[in-house]
Every structure is written in structure tokens, then in C-alpha cells.
């Protein structure tokens, strides 16, 4: 009977993680800005478009316990380093990725920082 309760517990835990992973992420902080210069006297002036560039940096702080959950969730940004206690940040690009946000949320010690 204990085995049956253990299996039920694992199923509940797994479904809670799946439901959490399927929740919608916060809106992206990167937004495009369009400036219309058609009101200018000069008709030859083009439409100016600029995109806000994310300068956020991914770091793993001293609170990391080396569970490698971030590596399992987001292999684009994190990788396992044999012989090292903590995973390595593999990429600083695409910091608005939903997988990165999920890895940050699922870190048990909140060791992943995006600043």
C-alpha cells in the first residue's frame, strides 16, 4: 500500500510541475518603438525604427546547490560542467526566452539571476 501512495504522490508532483511550466510567462520587457517622422518638412526623411536591446546578463550566484535543474529545462543557456559544482552559463543571448524564465522559476535556491 505504501508503494501505491508513493506513486500517487509522484503523479501529483509531476502534474503540478507540468501545470506550472504551462503557465503564461510575464510579458517580454523588450518592446519595439516606432517613430514616425512624416510630420517633418522634408519629405525624403525615412521612417525611423529602433528596437530596445536587452542588456540583461545571466549569472549563477553562490546559493547554487548544483542540482542541474536549469540544465534540464534550458540547454540553450546552461550546461553541465564535469568536475564543477555548479552549471555554466553557456549563452547570454535571447534573454527573453520562455525556457530561461522557466529555469529561473524552477531553481530551488533562486540562484539564477537576470540583471
Q: Report the CATH number at residue 85.
A: 3.30.70.20
pLDDT digit string, tens, across residues 62-109: 999 999 999 999 999 999 988 888 999 999 999 999 999 999 999 999
d(CA 41, CA 50): 21
Q: How many domains does the chain have?
A: 1
| 36: confidence class by pLDDT, cuts 50, 70, 90 | very low
For position 50, what pLDDT does the model report? 43
Q: Is the pTM of this model over 0.75?
A: no
Q: Does some domain include residue 41? A: no
56: closest CA among 24, 100, 88?
100
Q: Supply φ then ψ for residue 32, to 5 degrees.
A: -85, 145
Considering the chain, what is the average pLDDT of its residues?
Answer: 76
Q: Cβ distance 69 to 100 under 8 Å?
A: no
Q: Does some domain include residue 96? A: yes
d(CA 95, CA 77): 9
Q: Does some domain include residue 42? A: no
Amino acid at each position: 500500500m505504501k508503494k501505491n501512495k508513493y506513486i500517487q504522490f509522484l503523479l501529483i508532483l509531476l502534474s503540478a510541475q507540468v501545470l506550472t511550466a504551462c503557465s503564461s510567462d510575464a510579458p517580454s520587457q523588450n518592446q519595439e518603438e516606432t517613430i514616425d517622422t512624416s510630420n517633418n518638412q522634408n519629405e525624403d526623411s525615412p521612417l525611423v525604427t529602433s528596437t530596445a536591446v536587452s542588456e540583461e546578463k545571466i549569472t549563477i550566484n553562490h546559493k547554487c546547490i548544483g542540482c542541474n535543474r536549469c540544465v534540464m529545462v534550458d540547454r540553450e543557456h546552461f550546461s553541465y560542467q564535469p568536475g564543477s559544482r555548479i552549471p555554466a552559463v553557456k549563452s547570454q543571448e535571447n534573454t527573453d526566452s520562455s525556457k530561461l524564465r522557466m529555469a529561473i522559476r524552477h531553481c530551488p535556491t533562486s540562484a539564477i539571476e537576470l540583471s
